Every structure is written in structure tokens, then in C-alpha cells.
Structure 1
Amino acid sequence: MRRRLPGTTATTLALVAGALLPGTATADEPQPDDPAYTTRDARNVADAYGRVTEGQLQNPAYLPALARAATQTSVDQLLAQAASPTRPAITPGNLFPGWNVGNPLRAGWERTRGRTQPVAFTNRYGALLRGHVYRPRPGAVDPYTGRVLRAPFPGVVITEGSVQGSEGMYEWLAQDLAERGYVVLTYDVQGQGTSETFPHQDSPADTDALPFCNPFAAPGDGEMSGCPGVPSQQLSNFVAGTRNALGFFTSTPDHPYRNKAAGGADVTAYNPYWRLFDRSPDHRTVTPGRTTRIAIIGHSMGAAAVSKVQGTDDRVEAVVALDKLTGPGSAGPLDGTGNEPTVPALAVQSEYGFTVTPWFLSGGSSLAPQPSPDGPDPRRERRTGFDAWHRAGVDSMLVVPRASTHLEYTDIPLVLPASRYSQDLTSVYVQRWLDRYLKHRDPDLLDTSFRYLEPVGDQTWRPVELRRNRLLSFYYCSAYSLHTDAGRRSSGDITDVGC
């Protein structure tokens, strides 16, 4: 499929991409056998903890805000669980204070910058999924452009990462998008966050009220066991969650969501912000069959899930994969079987996985590092998915933030590695990508400087300036493959590090 870039010419793209960018790799940079290379790498490793050392611990408002938010979130979750005793969520996100709190400096967003409403719906296995829907504040203006925000708005569904990710960790992106004119759904997949752990299938007592499955039944449809959704760490769980979330998001009073095996649970019949969602087909696309203006975003195993769903669900107009986009034939921890490139894809991918490793362990992938005595392979992050989109002629972009880890895309307090500005940079690229492919506006995807509004506490957001060339990886290339308004394709290496 081909998408056009409104108002952008191939000449403009070539001029921007062809210039030698300050701070990017050149022949004069140190090589792996040079001590200066190891010195620079040590700084990069230290910067991979910047969110904690430079952000959370240096802001005096952070710890008091965390204590307040963690206490309130924990009480709210315990009360919700007590009200649904037959829908147990046996998860760290539901039981450990602070796990699901997200960024406490964002407290008060729903009073001053947008609106949010909790929702609950069941998945294909009858398990109760909990989430939130976000929308712009009535009468609001875009905080970046000053443009009045008028409904209807495009939609976004965000699927979290595995290893007990929870929706509160992705509140940052939902809020950033909502206040710019999107309706956004975040939710917890089965067995994570506050969503139910067990399915409700084929109950022998002919009731949906109690969780039940047959662990000895043969698994199907990509499931790892005969107890679907258990354990939560299986790709089919995230694929099913994404599809069910799309179904709930697009529901209306006239076409309510089919809450399978609800069994008396307090479920939401349809998207409470259904009136605000722009469900009209976008006739500016050259791909037939797209039925709504909606994007899907996923992180980690959620990224693998949205990489699959984009190829088969005609409601999806664009996709964003946060470490990692997976194309057909991709191997490793994320399964790329059947992921045919169909809609424009933004891939934001990281230098490091859950742990931060030195340059001589950069082989394999960020999630499964191996020895690399010759230094990092600049094309490593291209191969998981971007190359497949490029070969298919579908618009795509790869962004690799410097010193980034697999945890950049989750708000986690105090302990786990993430860089200081990669989450900010990610939000900027996601906003611009969706503005281009859902709103069909003309943000500059190849700009070198960005303004981002960052929460600092006490219901205050302050602008920070993000210099692209300082914040993108000097190890792994960032790249683009885009169609212009003239129908031609322009592609290149954003950072000139050897794509």
C-alpha cells in the first residue's frame, strides 16, 4: 500500500536527509580498538539510567507525588477487586503498591488537560479486561499549535508490553495524544495489571460467573496451553487483546460490544466516548477496505501483536511498534510469522533490552545480546521489521533513541533503566506519525529540533527542546522510507551511521 506525504516534495526530503548532520557518525569517530570508543560507550551506558538519575531523583516533587499516587491507586484497585470477587487479577500490577501508578507528576491531567473514564470488557476467552478511555478536554486547543480541537477525532488503541506491563505505565502516551485531538484506549491484557487472570470457558455448571478452563484440553489458535490466556506471557494473548480492544473501542449504543461470558460482571456496554470517535472511512487512502480512522500502538509483545493485527484488521489505518516492529520471517523473541506490511508503520526501537550491556555484547538483538568483538552492527534494528516494510513499498520509519532501553516506553518508578529523554522523543515521533497518517496533516518527520511539553508536578507542564542529532543512536541507524505527494518514494538514513 502507498501513502502520500501531503505538501512534502521529494526534493525537500532529499535535501534534509543528504546534509551531514552534526553529532552523527563520521570517519573521524573512534573505532572499537580505540580507548576513546570504550570511554564514549561508558557514557552511553550511564545515560541509559538517566530517567532515574537525572529525572526522577532530581525533581523534588517526584517522591511526594509518587507516595500520594501509589497510595490512591492501590486503594482504588483493592476496592475494585473486592467488588468483583469472581474476577481475580492475581498480578503484581493489582497487588503491589506503585506498580501501576505510571508517572505521578501527571496527576491532575484529567482536570486541566483532558478527560478519562474507566472501562471494563471481556476478551474472547471471557476474562474481564480493565482499561481507560482518554479524550481532549471540551473546548480545548492543541497545546502545541493553538488550533481549536473539534470532534470527531481519530482513534488509538494501545496494547501494553509483556512481563507484567500494566496500562498505567502507558498513560503518558495516551494523555499526550488525547490532548492533541485523539480518542485513546489503554487496557490491561488478560493476566496483567488489573485484568482478570483466568478465562471463563465451558463452565460445567453452565454459569459464566466463575473462572474456568480445562488445562488438559489441546491448545489452539497459537495458544500455549488449554487454559487460554494463561500464562499471560504468550503472543496469542496480546493479539486477542488487541482485536478485542478494537472491537470495544468501535462499539456504540446501537452496536454494543459483545461481552462474552460476562456472568454478572460490571462491564461497559460500549465506548463511552463513541460520539467523539471519527469512524468515517478515510477516502484519501489508496488502499481499499479501510473502515475507520484508527491506529494501534504496542510495546514489546504488544508491538509484536500490533505488527500482526495491522495486516488482517481493516479497521486499522496506521501502526506504531515500540521495540519492536516485526516483519514477515522475523525470528527471535518476537514472532514475525504472517506479518505482512499493510499500513504505514513507525518503529521506535532501543539500543538495550531489560539490561544495559557494553558495546562488545551488542550482537544478536537488544533482547538477546551476544558477543560483538567488531562493535555494533548499524543495521541491526532495521532487520526486525523496517526492511520488510521498505521492500513492500509501504511507508515506514525507524527511530532508535540514544542510550534507550526496552523500558523507555513504560513509566516505572526509580529502579529500572531508561534514558532521560527517549520517552519524550518517542512521544513526538508518535504524535507526528499519527498526525500524518490519521489526520493527513504535514508535520516534518525529518525535523532536527522538537518542542515537547513535559510534566514537572503540581499540574504544570513545561517545554523542553529535543535536539534530534544528540538524541538518536550513534550505533544503530534510524531510517525512513516514505512516499511524497508526487507519488515517488524517498528513503534514507536519518543519522548517517551506515544504514
Structure 2
Amino acid sequence: MRGLLLSLALGGATTIAHAADPAALDCLGPVRHESPAPGSAEWAQRDADNMACARQRIDDFAQQPAALFTPGKTPALDAYRNPASHAGKRFRYTEASTPSASGKPIAVEIYRPCAAGSCTGLPAGLKTFEPPYPAVVIVHGGYSSKRLHRSAAQVLAEAGYMTIALETTAPMGTHGPDAQSVVDWLFATPKAPLAGDAARFFPHWDQLDARMVGIAGHSQGGSTASLIGQTDKRIGAIVAWDNLTALKTGWVDKIGMDPAADLAIRTPALGIGADYYFKVVPTTEPPEPAKTNTQGGRGRGTEAHPKDPGYQELKAAGVDTMLVMLRAGTHLDFSLFGGPASRYGEGVINYYTLAWFDRYLKGAHDPALATDAFKRLTAQSFDDSADRHNISQGLYDSKAVAAGDAITQGNRPYRIAGTPVRDRLSFYFRSRCAITQPGSTLRVGSEDMRAAGCR
């Protein structure tokens, strides 16, 4: 019954044209048909498999405990990532607000790493970090919420970053000014508060390493991160989740600010995209090269169009950049809203997000970490750098529950460690890279990472 309610709540978005054989379906390993001809039975089977893989996470919801659901509705939040369940154990957590440029309060969630003696029962695999901390500002998408990115915010905090996730003051149209207001607030101190109010400064200003600040965002927030990350010189790295947006060609996003005509592209930026938007629909012919571009500089949308305009803009400017396209991923792999999403997308998203900030934020002042992060970005197989933080995406196993919090103990997260990178990359859209080796001017790159890796 719950599975039916989920399907109805999504308006049939997960209906597929060809039902994949569950016994033969392998969403973690290699695809069943590597290079089928368009229109062939093999093409149709591979496409059906991909669509089925893109809905596995919502299928998993049907097996979750009823406590995770509001009756008759899909789960709007990730119950496993409730901050109250892990504050003081995996990270430190506070809430705050700061006025926006319009004067309205911007609510934020602040996640700080555990320092020595500040957390109890730190899980195995995690470690403490001493301040000052690098920081990442996280911007949600249009008609969305900061709460939908708790996984990324908490993963970054567990890896040593102070993360600030903001709630925009309006569903659309204020993402740019609101995010800029939060960035300005982040840098404000008692000696240099925001103008007009001596009390307007970041509450953890004394724990911030102002040399290392990045910005990440999803959808409309991804365009916001793409822009503010280039215009604000205090920001050292960008991660755009579906997707990195071109600023000089075809800007279409309405975020409350626009790129200047003379904007200089200077900040390293990672884009992570997906096979599908909100709906999982058949792909009957190769979508690349795209016949049209209805989304301007954006790399997302409902039609087949270029996914890489932001990547190509940075590459042309000689700035390090990368585009990772998720196999069977959807627009909701990044926000855990309860709609169609793949089982392994979250792990890949967190893997590359961590590696990118380690390379271009922490790594800017830690050569050893920069080298390690570069290896992760160019690796042929995943390590456990993301898996060690994964407590949510998984399949509920009621038989494994012995005592305590059944919702937490019964979840068995999916892992990507040891699996080939190419098996997690889209076979419809190319993943690309153009990045510089630490301590060198040597640039490695690939316009098809699935075929050739990043080297």
C-alpha cells in the first residue's frame, strides 16, 4: 500500500516503458549491454534497466518503517539525518539567523566538526578536528529547503568542514542576494560586524579559517554557487549539484542577481549532474550531441540538451573544473525528497564533493591532502572516504534490529568502496575533467571519463 501511495504521490513519474527483470538487474556493476545500437532490443533493455535503477531508492522507501512517513505522503526529509540524533556525537550543531539584504531573517543550520572533548561516542572511522575550520556555505534549490541537504552538510562537518546551510527568504528569486548575505555574515567578526549593527557577526567567527571558504548548491542553488563563487573573491572552490552553470553564455536563472558582462572566471568548480530531471523517462536515441539547448547556461532540465556548458566555460578560461554525470541519477539524488533516485548517487555525490573541497580548500594549505584528494578525483575505483560518513541511504533490515533506535539500527547503507568509477558514470552523458596536479602546472583531462578515466 505504501508503495502505491508513493507512486500516486509522484504522479506516475516512475512508470517505465520496459520492465527490467529484477533477477538480472545489476545497478552497482557493469551495464548489461555496453554499446547497443539505438532502436535495438539491447538498447531498450539497457534503457529499461537504467530507469529501474533510477527508481530503486523510492522502491526502498516502501520497505522503510512506518515511523518515517506522514500517512499518505512520501517522506519529505531523511529521518536518518535528523540533526538532534547525532549532535554531540558525529558533529556539533546550532541554529541561527541573520538578516538578508532585504532585512528579512535568513534561517541557517550550522554544523561544526567534533573537537577533542566536545563529542561523546564518536563512531569508528570518524575523527576530531581542531579549529580553525574551513567552511562551506550550502544553498538549496528553488521551492526547496536547507533540510534536504542535511546529508551533505553533515558529511562535510564529519570530514572537518564547518558547514552553513541557509533557508532563502522566498521560494524563488532571492537565492543570490540571500546567499551573498550569508557569505558576508560568515566573514563578519566583533571587530568588523555587518554594517549597521555591532551584534551582527558570525557566532563561531573565532573558529573560522577565512582562507578556506567554499560554496555548494543544488539546482537554483547550483546556479547561485556558480555565480557567487566567481564574483566573491573570498571563495576558493565551488561545487554545483545539478548543475554547474555557464555565466557568460545564455544565463537564464532568476536568482535575484545576474553575471556582470566583464566577470572573470577564476574559481575551481565541480559540477555533478544526472541522467534524469524529476521524471524518469525513456531515452530512445543518444542525447549527445544535443540537438537543441533550451536551458541556456544550465546543465539540467527536462529535454536532452548540453549538460556541460559550465564545465566548458571554465575549461576555456584555464580554470580547474570537472563534470561528473551520475548513472541512473535524477535531480532528486541530491536532495533526498522521496522521489525517484538511485541507490548509489548519494555516495558518489559525497565522494566527489569531499575530494573537490579537500583539493581546493584544505589542499590549498596542506600539500599532502591536496595530493591525496587529486588521487581520489582521478581514481579508477572508489575508496571508503564517502562510505565512512554514510548512515542514511540503504535498505531497511528489520531482522537486524536487536535493540535501541530501530530506525537507525535497522538501516544498512549502500557502499561504493572498491567499485569501478566507470560503473557509476552515465553512459548517456559524458563525464569530463580538466584539473591540475598539485604542485605542478601539468593539467590532466578527459572529455569522456567513463571511457578513459581522468588522466
Which category of TM-score, normalised to the shorter sequence, fits these structures? 0.7 to 0.9
Query: Which residue is equivalent to 2:397?
Result: none
The alignment's C-alpha RMSD in Å is 3.2
CA gap of 1:126–1:148, structure 2 versus 1, over 3 A, is: closer
Distance in 2 (CA, whole Å) between partners of 1:470 and 1:346 is 20
Structure 2 residue 187 is the aligned partner of structure 1 residue 250: yes
Query: Which residue is equivalent to 2:55?
Result: 49
Q: How does 1:320-359 map to 2 (within 5 A)?
A: 320-331=239-250, 333-334=252-253, 337-338=259-260, 340-359=264-283
Query: Which residue is equivalent to 1:180?
Result: 159
Query: Which residue is equivalent to 1:388?
Result: 313
> What letter matches 1:112 in structure 2?
K
How many corresponding residue pairs? 374
Within the candidate set 435, 446, 449, 1:494 is matched to 449
Structure 2 residue 23 is the aligned partner of structure 1 residue 104: no
Any conservation in 2 of the 1:318–1:437 contact (CA below 8 Å)? yes
Query: Which residue is equivalent to 2:141?
Result: 161
Q: How does 1:195-206 map to 2 (within 5 A)?
A: none
Q: How does 1:206-245 map to 2 (within 5 A)?
A: 232-234=171-173, 237-245=174-182
Q: CA deviation at 1:329?
A: 3.4
Distance in 1 (CA, whole Å) between partners of 2:360 and 2:156 is 14
Within the candidate set 168, 192, 196, 1:189 is matched to 168
Within the candidate set 446, 454, 465, 2:378 is matched to 446
CA gap of 1:124–1:52, structure 2 versus 1, over 3 A, is: same
Any conservation in 2 of the 1:476–1:497 contact (CA below 8 Å)? no
> What letter matches 1:271 in structure 2?
F
Any conservation in 2 of the 1:158–1:187 contact (CA below 8 Å)? yes
Q: How does 1:360-375 map to 2 (within 5 A)?
A: 360=284, 362=287, 364=292, 367-370=300-303
Query: Which residue is equivalent to 1:273?
Result: 204
CA gap of 1:157–1:49, structure 2 versus 1, over 3 A, is: same
**Secondary structure in 2 matching 1:311:** helix
Query: Which residue is equivalent to 1:299?
Result: 218
> What letter matches 1:352 in structure 2?
Y
Query: Which residue is equivalent to 1:483?
Result: 436
The runs of 5 or more residues in structure 1 that have no matched partner are: 1-21, 71-95, 192-231, 261-266, 280-291
Any conservation in 2 of the 1:122–1:128 contact (CA below 8 Å)? yes
Structure 2 residue 358 is the aligned partner of structure 1 residue 435: yes
Q: CA deviation at 1:497?
A: 8.2
- Larger Cα Rg: Structure 1 or Structure 2? 1
CA gap of 1:420–1:259, structure 2 versus 1, over 3 A, is: farther
Any conservation in 1 of the 2:114–2:128 contact (CA below 8 Å)? no
Instruction: Give a deviation string over 1:209-233, Cα, whole Å, max 9, x none.
Output: xxxxxxxxxxxxxxxxxxxxxxx42
Structure 2 residue 102 is the aligned partner of structure 1 residue 125: yes
Which stretch shifts more, 423-432 or 488-497?
488-497
Structure 2 residue 395 is the aligned partner of structure 1 residue 418: no
Q: CA deviation at 1:403?
A: 0.9
Q: CA deviation at 1:337?
A: 4.6
**Secondary structure in 2 matching 1:112:** coil
CA gap of 1:463–1:45, structure 2 versus 1, over 3 A, is: closer
CA gap of 1:497–1:432, structure 2 versus 1, over 3 A, is: closer
Distance in 1 (CA, whole Å) between partners of 2:202 and 2:49 is 47
Any conservation in 2 of the 1:328–1:340 contact (CA below 8 Å)? no
The runs of 5 or more residues in structure 2 that have no matched partner are: 1-28, 294-298, 364-368, 393-406
Instruction: Give a deviation string over 1:426-469, Cα, whole Å, max 9, x none.
Output: 01110111011111112221221232132154378867234222
Any conservation in 2 of the 1:477–1:496 contact (CA below 8 Å)? no
Structure 2 residue 408 is the aligned partner of structure 1 residue 458: yes
> What letter matches 1:488 in structure 2?
L
Instruction: Give a deviation string over 1:283-325, Cα, whole Å, max 9, x none.
Output: xxxxxxxxx3100111111111111112221110001111111
